[in-house]
Amino acid sequence: MKRDCQVAIAPLTRVEGHGNIRIRIEQGRLLEARWEVVETPRFFEAMLKGKTWENAPWITGRICGICSIGHTLASIRAVERAFGIEPGPCTTRLRLLLKHMETLQSHSLHLFFLVLPDLLGVGSVLPLLETHRETVLLASRIKKLANDACDLVGGRRLHPTRTVVGGFTLYPQPAELAALRERLQAVLPDLDEAAALFGSLPLPDFQRPTEFVSLAGTDAYPFIGGEVVSTDGVRQTEDGYRALTNEYLVPRSTAKWCRLSRSSFAVGALARFNNNAHLLAPAARALAAGLGLAPVCHNPFANNLAQLVECVHVVHDAITLIDELLAGDLEPDRQPVRPRAGLGVAAVEVPRGILYHAYQLSDSGRIMACDCVIPTGQNHANIQADLTALAADFARRGHGDQDLELLAAMLVRAYDPCISCSVH
Amino acid sequence: MPAAPPDLPRRYLGVPLWRPRAAFFELTSCEGCQLQILNNEDTLLDFLSFLEVVQFREAMTEKAEDYEIAFVEGAVSRADEEERLRRIRAQAQVLVALGSCAAFGGVNQLRNRWADPALVVREVYGEAPVETALVRPLSAVVPVDLMIFGCPIRKEEVERIVCDLALGKTVTHPAYPVCLECKANENLCLFDLGEPCLGPITRGGCNAWCPNERAGCWGCRGPAEDANVAQLLEIMRRHGFSDEAFRDRLECFGGFASLPARPEGLPA
């Protein structure tokens, strides 16, 4: 049995941003297992200070290229809540539709282009063009649909243009939404096929008891605003987000870390699923059951399955939203903006978990203070805890360096970390 | 006829095609421009046939160091990035600044409004020792051969530029402003809709991406040739927009920092 093991991954590939993994096992004893976030900080909170509210969604959307729609929507919601603006029914539905399409785009990018190569034993999607061409084409179809839908509703697939405080600058035409509905219907068989593929590729069997935090759905699987819950029984309002995140600094990370009831917690697709599985669309619930995914699941690798389940959910829900819009809710309802002093907080479920934006605004709408708490920032401590447990487990059993290297990389990748986003 | 062996140069209209070994890198950025490289699924395989991608951390684990073209996204804001950029420059025959952060500093340079980086660190991290420096575009550190403008970059434009590179054509950018493209698209003028817009002074080539969606231009592509900033300030004032709104847009992506003089009377 192999008793010594060294893993040094710097930087981890097929994730967004720069993070390193270092593991050292000697004589079957774990000496070190470190998740290091080495990304350069960007200081968005300092960029926004002194700027007026109009700048916030435009600039904070640039925190992330992958979840820029989520950042833009969180920023808009924070400003609207500070100014007392209640978005109209058309805007509310279109925003959720846009969010869903970002979720579909981000999850499918992660599942097919970042995760699948590991499950099939290759280094990137490129060799799969030879061996699994149909799967790559299927993945491209799903991703293209999601991107096109984001262009239609948000004006642009990343760093959206139509999304503004009060509503949208332009609203889609009924015929455009009807065409999108047809494409959403057509992608459902692709998702079934994807589910069959992922269901046939076993995930590592690893469990570590974890606290999962997400928005709390009341009558719908939650994405925008409302209360926040944890599997440890914490319940908190969106405004009380600081009591949930408790940010602190650690020397090996340029991102802040978070804790709640325990020393770490997890956010993201698996957390949403664990707290709200009963609110999924029936087809998504059936898929979860077929994949053997049931709440509360404590295997971090299962986040990939939860993402797959969410892909099915958002497509079904997007079709429902379009039906509601076409049945009479597609009336442009952009509202005027009247600045007033106040604190605006927004919690939005972006692909990787809850994103909070909070702005203290002056009576003329100037940003006096700004705080953004990013999902991957909330996950870092949990990634570290999982990595330690995984490596310790490995040290006991004794395997080769390469096995551990792959498993450790897959573990971090399962979180779909958005590292530059977390070092905002 | 048997297919040509793959190692023979491909030809297009009799012109041999260079299939450069390309690497993608990111410094201080959101990695959105690299995400754009992976977008446009319909043309992605054709696009990839023009390049031999040997390094792309966000998408692949394999990597090689003998690249000829380096596409670098992001601004320089830390000593290790400066060192990394110099190594990339030494290896690459062609260094491409990919997007507004690489070309101008992008939104990152907004924090340079705080002249002392230490104050910025204190604002966000308190007393924790976090290393950073003023934000700089790539060209402030090493010679840059080519810029691809935009926040984000437009994939169609990248495809055109990569095609030009492979064919050995000179890569050019439009000299005219976004305003011209906006007019050609028959949009309503954003000024008349009550929205500030830098379209009249910003370099075209994006096909008026934001104004087409009724969002005023924020100048992410930097100045058009012969940009008349002072005249635009007059027009903005005439339409009742505040000088501050104008300044916010001018400074958002850093492209206008290189202009010789700011218009008279604009708040710093």
- Decide if A16 and B61 are in contact by the 8 Å CB cutoff: no
B192 near A CB under 8 A = no
Contact between A241 and A356 (Cβ < 8 Å)? yes
* Predicted pLDDT of residue B5: 43
Low-confidence ranges of chain B (pLDDT < 70): 1-9, 258-268
Is the CB of residue B210 less than 8 Å away from at least one CB of chain A? Answer: yes
- Of residues A3 and B220, more confidently modeled: B220
CA angle, B80 then B83 then B85, to 5°: 110
Give me the sign of the Cα torsion angle A212, A214, A216, A220. Answer: negative
Q: Over range A264-269, report the average pLDDT.
A: 98
Residue partners of A280: CB distance under 8 A and separation at least 6? A221, A273, A288, A309, A313
Quote the DSSP letter at residue B155.
Answer: H
Local structure of residue A115 (DSSP, 8 states): I
- Give A142's Cβ-side CA count (13 Å radius): 31
Contact B57 A11 (CB under 8 A): yes
Structure tokens given for A149: 């839908």
| Lookup: tokens for A227 | 């209360």
Nearest chain B alpha carbon to A55: B248
Q: Is the peptide bond before B152 cis (omega within 30 degrees of 0)?
A: yes
The yes-or-no verdict on residue A365 having pLDDT over 90 is yes
Mean pLDDT of A48-69: 96
Cα–Cα nearest to A18, from A422, A357, A404 = A422
At residue B261, the pLDDT reads 47
Q: State the average pLDDT for chain A.
A: 96
**Alpha-carbon distance A17 to nearest alpha carbon in chain B (angstroms):** 7
Give the model's pLDDT for residue A322: 98
- Tell me what percent of the residues of chain A surpass a pLDDT of 90: 94
Count of Cβ atoms closer than 10 Å to residue B38 Cβ: 18
Pair of tokens at residue B79:
């000593």
Q: Do A64 and B30 touch (CB under 8 A)?
A: yes
Q: In this prediction, does ipTM exceed 0.90?
A: yes
pLDDT of residue A99: 98
Q: What is the C-alpha to C-alpha distance for residues B177 and B159, in angstroms, rounded to an integer?
A: 21
Q: Which two tokens stand for residue B14?
A: 């009799």
Examine residue B129 and say whether the peptide bond preceding it is cis (omega within 30 degrees of 0).
no
Helix (H) or strand (E) holding A235: strand A235-236
Residue A377: list chain B partners with CB under 8 A: none
Query: Cβ contact (<8 Å) for A59 and B123?
Result: no
Cβ contacts of B209 on chain A, cutoff 8 Å? 156, 161
Is the CB of residue B151 less than 8 Å away from at least one CB of chain A? Answer: yes
Tell me: pLDDT of A268 over 50: yes
Say whether A162 and B123 touch across the interface (CB within 8 A). no
Which residues of A fall within a CB distance of 8 Å from B268?
none
Size of interface A-B (CB pairs under 8 A): 151
Q: Is the minimum CB–CB distance between B76 and chain A shorter than 8 Å?
A: no
- Using CA atoms, how far apart are residues B14 and A66, in angstroms rounded to an integer? 40
Q: What is the pLDDT, as a whole number, of residue A373?
A: 98
Of B63, B107, B126, the CB nearest to A47: B107
Q: How far off is chain B from A398, nearest CA to CA, in Å?
A: 25
Given a contact cutoff of 8 angstroms between Cβ atoms, the answer to whether A5 and A25 are in contact is yes
Q: Which tokens hold the place of A235?
A: 């319940």
- CA of B67 to nearest chain A CA: how many angstroms apart? 18
Residues of A in contact with B59 (CB under 8 A): 14, 113-114, 124-125
A105: nearest Cα among A175, A156, A161:
A156
The encoded tokens of residue B160 equal: 């055109």
CB contact under 8 A, A157 and B39: yes
Beta bridge partners of A68: none
| Min Cα–Cα distance to chain B from A208, Å | 27
Q: How far apart are CA A53 and CA A80, in angstroms?
A: 10
Max alpha carbon distance in chain B (Å)? 72
d(CA A141, CA A185): 13
Say if the Cβ atoms of A170 and B214 lie within 8 Å.
yes
Residue A289 has pLDDT above 90, yes or no: yes
User: In chain B, which residues have their Cβ closer than 8 Å to the Cβ of A59?
Assistant: 107, 110, 252
Which of B35, B123, B126 comes nearest A66 by C-beta? B35
- Mean pLDDT throughout A61-83? 97
Query: What's residue B45's pLDDT?
Result: 86
- Confidence at residue A343, expressed as pLDDT on a 0 to 100 scale: 98
The CA–CA distances, whole Å, from A408 to A140, A305, A308, A393 equal: 27, 18, 21, 12
DSSP B180: H
CB contact under 8 A, B130 and A254: yes
* Chain A contact for B143 (CB, 8 A cutoff): no
Q: Which of A13, A16, A420 sits opposite B60 (nearest CB)?
A: A13
Beta-carbon separation of A14 and B61 below 8 A: yes
Answer yes or no: do B248 and A125 touch at CB < 8 A. no
Query: Nearest to residue A341, comparing CAs of A368, A358, A364, A363?
Result: A363
Pairing of strands B94-98, B69-73: parallel
When pLDDT is averaged across residues A94-106 and rounded to a whole number, the result is 98
Q: What are phi and psi of A289, to 5 degrees?
A: -60, -40
Scanning every residue of chain A, which has its alpha carbon at the shortest distance from the alpha carbon of B122?
Answer: A46
**B84 to each of A122, B70, B71, B89, B233, how far by Cα in Å?**
27, 12, 13, 9, 40
Query: Which residues in chain B belong to E strands, given as ranges?
Result: 11-12, 15-16, 21-26, 52-56, 69-73, 94-98, 146-148
Rounded Cα distance between A419 and A375, Å, is 10
Cβ proximity of B241 and B194 under 8 Å = no
- Which of chain B's residues have a Cβ under 8 Å away from the Cβ of A46? 111, 114, 119-120, 123-124
This prediction has a pTM of: 0.96
Are B132 and A41 inside 8 Å of each other by CB?
A: yes
